[in-house]
Amino acid sequence: MIARIALLAGVVALGLGVIYVGVGGLGFVVKGIGSTVGGFVEGVTATPSPRASVAEVSDSPSLASPVEPYTSESTVDLVVTVPASLVGDLDHRIRVYLTLPDQNPAAIAEAQLADAPKTIIPVELTDGINDFTVSIVGPGGESDRSLPVRYVFDDEPPKVTITSPKNNATVNSSAVQIKGKTQARTTLLASNAANGSRIAGTAEADGTFSLSLALAAGTNKITIAATDPAGNQSEASLSVKRGTGKLTVTLAASDYSIKRSQLPEPVTLTATLTDPDGKALAGADVTFTLSMPGIPTVTVDAKTSAQGKATFKTTVPKGADIGQGSATVLVSSEQFGSTEDFTVISIVK
C-alpha cells in the first residue's frame, strides 16, 4: 500500500508540473489531485457490505416413546414429530442417531420430512439396548437432538426355574405353593391338568415368583407357561402328589390332679399343632374349653404361634366339686381342615 501511494505521489507531481506549464495555473491542478487521491484511497480502504445471514437452525424434533420397550421384532418404526413450520420442507431432513451401551451416538440414517407433523422412519435393532435420538439438518446446520427413546431387542425365550416344590414331591395340602425364578416382569400361567385349576401371576423385578394352585387327589401334572415382556414364550412343568396326611394337635395341662383343699389353683393348657408333614403350623385358629364339676364351663379362642403353640391360662376357683373334669382343644386351618384333642383334669380330696 505504501509503495502504491508513493508511486501515485510521483505521478501526481509529474502531472502537476506539466499542467502548470501548459495552462499557467495551480488551482485546477490541486482540485484534480484531491479528487484523484480521494477516489483511490476510497477504492483501497472500502469494506464490502455483508451477505444476508443463512437460515437459522430449526428447533429439535421429538420421538414417541414405545408403550413397551422390549420387543422380539428386529425392526421398529420411529415416530418423529417436527416443528409445524417445517412440515414437508424439502430443504430439511431428519437425521437418526443410535447409541449402544458403552458407545458414543452414531448417525445411522437420514429421511425426508413427511407432508404431515409425524414422520415414520423404520430402523433395524441390534441385540440388547438400543437408544435412539433424532435431529433436523438443513441450510442453517443441525438442530439439537431429541430426548432419547429406548428399545430392547430380545428374541430369546425366558428360562423358567422352579425351586419349590421338587418334581414328584408329595404335598399334604389342598393347594401347592409353586416358587421359582425367571426373567423380570414375565407373565406366568400355571395350569393343573388333574382338576382344570389355573392361576396367573407376574415375576417380580428380581425375577422371583410365587403361585398357589389348587390340587386334586393323587398325581397332579402342572404346566407353567411364561411370556416375557418382548413376547417370547416358554414352558416348564412338574408333577406333585397330594398327600393324605392330617393335622395333629396335642393338648397338655400344667396339672392333671388338683386337691380341693388347695383351691383356687392356676391351670395352664398348651396346644401344640403340626401340619401333615410334621412341621409346626402357625396362625391356626384354636378354641380351648375347660369343664370342671361344680363350676361354669370356660371357653377361649387363640391362634398358634410361629412354633405351632397356643396357651390358655386360667384358675380353678373355690367351689369346684370333687370329680373328673375335662379340657379340650379344637383346631382349624384353611389348608388342612380341623382336628381336636382332649385331656382329663380331676378334683380330688
Please write the tens of the pLDDT for every residue from 129-170: 999 999 999 999 999 999 999 999 999 999 999 999 999 998
How many whole angstroms separate alpha carbon 244 and alpha carbon 170?
A: 9
CA 255 to chain centre: 59
How many whole angstroms separate alpha carbon 220 and alpha carbon 213?
A: 10
Neighbours of 243 (CB within 10 A): 15
Question: How confident is the model at residue 57, as a pLDDT?
Answer: 63
Question: How confident is the model at residue 180, as a pLDDT?
Answer: 97
Is 72 part of a structural domain of the chain? Answer: yes
Does position 290 have pLDDT exceeding 90, yes or no? yes
Is the same domain home to 252 and 314? yes
Is the same domain home to 197 and 252? no
Is the same domain home to 72 and 141? yes
∠ CA 144-149-153, nearest 5°, is 140
Q: Which residue has the higher pLDDT, 254 or 48?
A: 254
Question: How confident is the model at residue 279, as a pLDDT?
Answer: 83
Phi/psi for 42 (5° steps) reads: -60, -40
In the numeric block, which cell numbers belong to residue 252?
397338655
Helices (H) then strands (E): counts for the chain: 2, 25
**Last residue within a domain, chosen from 225, 242, 259:** 242
What is the percent of the chain where pLDDT is above 70? 83
How many whole angstroms separate alpha carbon 280 and alpha carbon 276?
A: 10
**Last residue within a domain, chosen from 208, 224, 242:** 242
Is the same domain home to 332 and 277? yes
Q: Helix 2-23 crosses helix 27-45 at what angle (to 10 degrees)?
A: 160
Is 305 part of a structural domain of the chain? Answer: yes
**Last residue within a domain, chosen from 100, 121, 153:** 153
How many whole angstroms separate alpha carbon 171 and alpha carbon 176?
A: 7
Give me the chain's average pLDDT, please: 85
Is 104 part of a structural domain of the chain? Answer: yes
Digit-coded pLDDT (tens) for 15-66: 333 223 333 333 333 233 333 334 433 333 334 433 333 345 668 999 999 9
Is 52 part of a structural domain of the chain? Answer: no
Question: How confident is the model at residue 336, as a pLDDT?
Answer: 80
- Exposure of 341 by Cβ count < 10 A (0-12 exposed, 13-18 middle, 19+ buried)? middle
In this structure, what CATH number is given to the domain that contains residue 79? 2.60.40.10
Side-chain half-sphere exposure of 204, counting CA atoms within 13 A: 8
Is 51 part of a structural domain of the chain? Answer: no
With a CB cutoff of 8 Å and minimum separation 6, the contacts of 196 are: none
For residues 305 and 274, the answer to whether their CB atoms sit within 8 Å is no
Does position 327 have pLDDT exceeding 90, yes or no? yes
- Exposure of 159 by Cβ count < 10 A (0-12 exposed, 13-18 middle, 19+ buried)? middle
Is the same domain home to 181 and 226? yes
Is the same domain home to 224 and 180? yes
Question: How confident is the model at residue 143, as a pLDDT?
Answer: 95
- CA-to-CA separations, 10 to 13, 15, 17, 216, in angstroms, rounded: 5, 9, 11, 123
How many whole angstroms separate alpha carbon 310 and alpha carbon 278?
A: 17
Neighbours of 14 (CB within 10 A): 10
Is 43 part of a structural domain of the chain? Answer: no
Q: Which domain holds residue 220?
A: 161-242
In the numeric block, which cell numbers belong to residue 110?
437420514
Is the same domain home to 172 and 88? no
Is 132 part of a structural domain of the chain? Answer: yes
Is the same domain home to 169 and 107? no
Is the same domain home to 233 and 252? no
Bin 24: left if φ > 0, else alpha if -120 < ψ < 50, else beta: left
Spatial CA neighbour of 281 closest among 303, 306, 262: 306
How many whole angstroms separate alpha carbon 157 and alpha carbon 235?
A: 9
Number of structural domains the chain divides into:
4
Is the same domain home to 78 and 95? yes
Is the same domain home to 167 and 226? yes
Q: In what order do the strands lie in the sheet with 118-124?
A: 62-63, 75-81, 118-124
Is the same domain home to 148 and 72? yes
Is 46 part of a structural domain of the chain? Answer: no
